[in-house]
Amino acid sequence: MKLIAVFCFVVYGLTPTVLAQSYEITELGTLSATPSDDVRSADINNLGFVHGENDKSGVLGTQQTRAFVWDGVVQLEVFPTLSGTTFMGGMNDLGQCVGYQTVMLGGTPELHGYLWDSVNGATDLIFGLRGFTRCYDINNNEIITGIFTSEIIVNFRYQYRGFIYDSKINRFYELPTLGGRESKAVAINNDNYVVGTTYDASGTQFGFLWTPPNGMVAIPGMRQPQDINDNGIVVGHDIDANGFVQPRSYNTNSGVLSALPLPGGYTHGAVNGNNSHGQAVGYGKDSVGIQHALLWEAANTVTVIEGHVNNGGAWLITGANNINELGEISGTGLINGVRRAYKLSPILAQPIISEFLPGRSGQTNKLFALGFTPQVNVVLWYGGRGSSFDYLNSILITTVMADANGRAEFDLALPRRVANWNIWLMASELNLVNQSTPVQQLIK
User: pLDDT of 316-360, one tens digit each?
Assistant: 999 999 999 999 999 999 999 999 999 999 999 999 999 999 999
Q: Are 399 and 381 in contact (CB under 8 A)?
A: no
Q: Name the strands in the sheet holding 179-188, side by side, starting at the edge strand that comes first in the sequence.
A: 179-188, 194-200, 205-211, 215-219
pLDDT at 391 over 70: yes
In terms of CATH, what superfamily is 2-14+350-442? Immunoglobulins (2.60.40.10)
Buried b (16+ CB within 10 A) or exposed e, 196-218: bbbbeeeeeebbbbbeeeeebee
Longest C-alpha distance within the chain, in Å? 77
> What are the tens digits of pLDDT across the range 355-375?
999 999 999 999 999 999 999
What are the domain boundaries of the chain? 2-14+350-442, 23-346
Q: Are 408 and 368 in contact (CB under 8 A)?
A: yes
pLDDT computed for residue 157 by the predictor: 72
Range with the poorest average pLDDT among 30-39, 60-69, 85-94, 422-431: 60-69
* 368 bridge partner residues: 409
Model confidence at 300, in pLDDT bands (50, 70, 90)? confident
Query: Full-prediction pTM beyond 0.95?
Result: no
In terms of CATH, what superfamily is 23-346? TolB, C-terminal domain (2.120.10.30)
Model confidence at 59, in pLDDT bands (50, 70, 90)? low
- Omega cis (within 30) before 261: no
For residue 47, give every residue at least 6 positions away whose Cβ sits within 8 Å of its Cβ, in sequence order, or none: 72, 93, 95, 368, 407, 409
Please indicate whether the domains covering 2-14+350-442 and 23-346 agree at the CATH topology level. no
